Amino acid sequence: MNQISLEGIAQVVEATHVVSASAEQERSYHWAICSDLMSDVLTRDGDGAVLVTSLASVQALRAADIVGIGAVILSNGKRADPQMLATAQSLSVSLMTSGLPSFEICIALGKAFAL
Amino acid sequence: MIQNLPIDITNSSLVIRELITRLRVCDVMSTDMITARRSDTLRTVQLQMKERGITGVPIAENGRVFGIVSVDDIIQALDEGHINDRVDAHMTKNVVLLEEYLPLSLAVSQFQRYSYGRFPVVNKEGLLVGIISSRDILTKLLVEINREVDRLETLIPASVPTSDRPNGFREFTIKQYDLDNGGKATESIKKLCESIGLDSRTCRRIAVIVYELEINLAIHSYGGVISCSYTPECFRIVSRDNGPGIADRDLAVTPGFTTANDWVKSLGFGAGMGLPNIKRVADEFHITSAKGHGTVVTVSVNLVQTGGGETK
């Protein structure tokens, strides 16, 4: 599996950074979890993963933080509200938003990680 | 003059949003209604309104709705001198009907869209079963909010006496429907775990347990308390609430089983994985509950030997 930087992931999924947690800049990722249900996210060990979700809520960030996921990609152009931005900063979880649907983000990430 | 319902579907409090999503039109509508026939006169309808103190009468025969007459129609008839005409000559014929099982939130949006004071309610066969007014909605919401306030006032779960508190004791009160703060207890416990030197895997297991308990209290209970304590051998988490209780505990820990409503699911929860997740990562898991009573979930994570399970 390819290790991809946050910047590389943003390019692959056509995403805009909303919050870039400083500690995350050097981190790399090699797989993704895609779900809108946070209990599903909690069943996984999230080291090296990004979370793809259309759930624009602080709970997506909290669930990600609990299992060690360092970055969350909001799909379908979902926007983060001020509470979400503050929580991302507080938890040091990177946050970006992509206009692509979750399915297309997963295809793009799957290809990129497999290259 | 008819005014829009002063309910903001998007930005109201969580309690209001949950109520208008959970309640259906049939929970709020009046079934004790009067109707008139097309052949009745407007004078007849006027007298019905006066007698019952209402401002709108559906025109229906054998359950089929043909129109509606409002107090404005009556005023106009008196003004223009046709109060003794047949109803069907002056009634509103393009009536907007609401289906009885529609969520109340959609009914509210219809009130705001059309600025009508009432809507006839029909069943799946299209037959009249009731009428819903903005007053019905406000009254029902007031009753439900009062019930919620009563519940909150009586909700003071038994707390562990200070003198009996073990080392590292932490306690968090979780309010019903308060998902804005959901996860804050977990964040605090996770920091505690890191500060006492637990390895990252154990910290995550404990965080998953506390988070699922927190969310369960917020979405399934009337609110409750989560307490945590630890010894060198064991981290213990206890969740207590005052109801409504679990009818079937075995079913509740079955992956995928859920009693969550659509509102909860729209917030990313209610997948039926909460208790199964807790059970999966815990070394000891015990639940005491009965329908109509409170629930106590007691969970332990071994700190000396973290269990041999692959998923732990």
**Does A34 contact chain B (CB < 8 Å)?**
no
> For chain B, which residues lie within 8 Å of any Cβ of chain A, measuring from their own Cβ?
179-180, 182-183, 186-187, 190, 200-201, 204, 207-208, 211-212, 215, 265, 267-274, 277, 280
Lowest mean pLDDT among B141-155, B156-170, B232-246: B156-170
A4-5/A28-29 β-pairing: antiparallel
Residues of B within 8 A of A102 (CB-CB) are none
Nearest by CB: B268 against A37, A43, A66: A37
- Token couple for B309: 């399970």
The model's pLDDT over A52-88, given as tens digits with 9 standing for 90+, comes to: 999 999 999 999 999 999 999 999 999 999 999 999 9
* Predicted local confidence at residue B2, as pLDDT: 45
- Closest Cα in chain B to A56: B267
- Closest Cα in chain A to B179: A59
Average pLDDT taken over every residue of chain B: 87
The model's pLDDT over B247-271, given as tens digits with 9 standing for 90+, comes to: 888 888 888 888 888 888 888 888 8
**Does A44 contact chain B (CB < 8 Å)?**
no
The model's pLDDT over B207-221, given as tens digits with 9 standing for 90+, comes to: 999 999 999 999 999
One-letter amino acid at B28 equals V
Omega before residue B120 within 30° of 0, cis: no
Q: How confident is the model at residue A23 (pLDDT cuts 50, 70, 90)?
A: low
CB atoms closer than 10 angstroms to residue A14:
13
Distance from CA of B40 to the nearest CA of A (A): 55
Average pLDDT (B233-248) is: 90
Q: How many CA atoms lie within 13 A of B139 on its CB side?
A: 9
Q: Is the pLDDT of residue B163 over 70?
A: no
Interchain CB contacts (distance < 8 Å): A and B: 66
Q: Is the pLDDT of residue B272 over 90?
A: no
Which residues fall within 8 angstroms of residue A7, CB to CB, at 6 or more apart? Answer: none
Rg (CA), chain A: 12
**CB-CB contact of A97 with A105 (8 Å):** no
**Does A67 contact chain B (CB < 8 Å)?**
yes
**Which of B62, B75, B123, B79 lies closest to B97, judged by CA?**
B123
Q: Is the pLDDT of residue B311 over 50?
A: no
Which residues fall within 8 angstroms of residue B4, CB to CB, at 6 or more apart? Answer: B111, B112, B115
The model's pLDDT over B34-66, given as tens digits with 9 standing for 90+, comes to: 999 999 999 999 999 999 988 899 999 999 999
The model's pLDDT over B110-127, given as tens digits with 9 standing for 90+, comes to: 888 887 889 999 999 999
* Predicted local confidence at residue B160, as pLDDT: 58
Which carries the bigger pLDDT value, residue B265 or residue B13?
B265
Helix (H) or strand (E) holding B289: strand B284-289
**CB-CB contact of A100 with A13 (8 Å):** yes
Percent of chain B with pLDDT over 90: 53
Q: Is the pLDDT of residue B74 over 90?
A: yes
Q: Is the pLDDT of residue B109 over 80?
A: yes
- Closest Cα in chain A to B258: A39
* Predicted local confidence at residue A25, as pLDDT: 55
CB contact under 8 A, A38 and B277: no
CB contact under 8 A, B204 and A59: no
Q: How confident is the model at residue B164 (pLDDT cuts 50, 70, 90)?
A: low
* Predicted local confidence at residue B84, as pLDDT: 95
* Predicted local confidence at residue B177, as pLDDT: 85
Q: Please state, in angstroms and as integers, the Cα–Cα distance from residue B51 to each residue in A58, A91, B45, B47, B48, following that order.
A: 54, 63, 10, 6, 5
* Predicted local confidence at residue B145, as pLDDT: 85
**Does A98 contact chain B (CB < 8 Å)?**
no
Residues of A within 8 A of B273 (CB-CB) are 37, 39-40, 42-43
* Predicted local confidence at residue B162, as pLDDT: 58
Average pLDDT (B163-189) is: 84
Distance from CA of B162 to the nearest CA of A (A): 30
Lowest mean pLDDT among B78-82, B120-124, B175-179: B175-179
Helix (H) or strand (E) holding A91: helix A82-91
- Token couple for B7: 């309910």
CB contact under 8 A, A39 and B274: yes
Please give the sequence-ordered ranges of beta strands (E in DSSP) within B148-260, or none if there are none: 170-175, 223-230, 234-241
- pTM value is 0.64
Rounded Cα–Cα distance for residues A21 and A16 (Å): 14
Per-residue H/E/C for A36-87: CCHHHHCCCCCCCEEEEECCCCHHHHHHHHHHCCCEEEECCCCCCCHHHHHH
